[in-house]
Each structure stands twice: as C-alpha cells, then as structure tokens.
C-alpha cells in the first residue's frame, strides 16, 4: 500500500493490516498496488486583503483545480488581474485545508 505524505508517496509500514500506519505528515488517503485513483481532491485559492480578511465577490473567479500544479499555473497567469481587483494575498487550499499562504500578490521591492 502506498500513502500520500507531505514529503511524497511512501510505503505503508503495515501493508497487511486493515488500518495503515501513516507516520508524520501523511494524510489518510491511500491507493492500492494496482494504482487505483486516490480520493477526489480539489485545489482552490482563497483571496484575502493585506490584513487577512477574505475577499469574496462575484466578480472574482472561483476556479477549482484537479492538482496543485494546475492551481499554481493558473495563479501565475492571473495574479495581476486579482491584484487589480483588490486581492492582496492568497492561500492555497486542498479541499478545506490550507496548504500554504498567505502569499502576497504584490511584487517584491
């Protein structure tokens, strides 16, 4: 059995048991040796002001992505539009868990 951890995929330590031991930083998702899909995960961006208040307006896009890299690519292409719309920083969410952030959209000086 292979489990997904914050540091990548790892072999579970007790493959034969019913409840795998995940270890530090691992999420409770796994796949079989046959490589069946992990549970459906969605990646989204939370838009915020500089003081951390969530920005929610119908004018802002509310995209959902199948992978972290798709979400990051999308942000890399659209951060200027978000900044011009009043978004100062973002947080990346995997389902409802913060992966990282807040990350400023303002250019570094």
Q: What would the mean pLDDT of 72-80 be, rounded to a whole number?
A: 97
| Burial grade of 32 (CB within 10 A; 0-12, 13-18, 19 or more) | exposed
Taking a C-beta distance cutoff of 8 angstroms, is the pair 6, 25 a contact? yes
Q: Enter the pTM of the model.
A: 0.63
Please tell me what DSSP assigns to residue 4: E
pLDDT at 96 over 60: yes
Res. 76 pLDDT band, cuts 50 70 90: very high
Find the range with the poorest average confidence among 7-11, 41-45, 56-60. Answer: 7-11
| Dist CA 99 CA 91 (whole Å) | 7
| Dist CA 28 CA 59 (whole Å) | 36
């Amino acid at each position: 059995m292979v489990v997904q951890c914050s540091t990548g995929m790892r072999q579970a330590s007790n493959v034969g048991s019913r409840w795998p031991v995940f270890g530090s930083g691992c999420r409770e998702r796994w796949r079989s040796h046959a490589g069946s899909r992990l549970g459906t995960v969605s990646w989204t961006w939370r838009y915020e002001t500089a003081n951390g208040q969530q920005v929610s307006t119908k004018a802002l896009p509310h995209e959902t992505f199948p992978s972290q890299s798709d979400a990051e690519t999308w942000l890399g292409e659209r951060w200027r539009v978000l900044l011009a719309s009043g978004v100062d920083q973002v947080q990346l969410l995997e389902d409802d868990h913060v992966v990282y952030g807040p990350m400023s959209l303002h250019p570094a000086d």
